[in-house]
Amino acid sequence: MAEGQSAQRDHGAAASGQAHADWKTYVVVGVILTVITAVEVAVFYIPAMHGVMVPILLTLSAGKFFIVVLWYMHLKYDSRIYWRVFFAPLSLAVLVVVGMVLLFKVIPLLR
């Protein structure tokens, strides 16, 4: 049974044109995520960064999000249709949240 599953995985990887990453890649990705997390913690504790803390943390968090999605959710190796299925609703949700923030927080300040 395990051989059949392995054959299906290999066939899927060959059909998409890319082989899945080996364990070394996941270790490197894990180290990168750890470094980004350490930078996030450092930004929080450095007093000089408090003025730009929110944009920096949002950018670093978004970077970590995309790294996790691409490698650990295997979207980097899957068909492009999975990208569309994942990122289309995500983009819509981001636009709705940005619109709500503008509507209820920013625009009232301008009046």
Residues 99, 49 within the same domain: no
Residues 69, 43 within the same domain: yes
Indicate if the pLDDT at residue 6 is higher than 90: no
Residues 41, 86 within the same domain: no
pLDDT for 74 equals: 84
Indicate if the pLDDT at residue 7 is higher than 50: no
Number of domains the chain is built from: 2
Range of the domain at 39: 2-78
Residues 13, 67 within the same domain: yes
Residues 13, 60 within the same domain: yes
Residues 67, 37 within the same domain: yes
Structure tokens at 18: 């890319």
Interatomic CA distance for residues 36 and 39, integer angstroms: 5
Query: Taking Cα atoms as reference points, which of 58, 67, 56 lies closest to residue 34?
Result: 67
Interatomic CA distance for residues 101 and 31, integer angstroms: 34
38-48 pLDDT, tens per residue?
Answer: 999 999 999 99
Residues 57, 18 within the same domain: yes
Residues 68, 92 within the same domain: no
pLDDT for 14 equals: 46
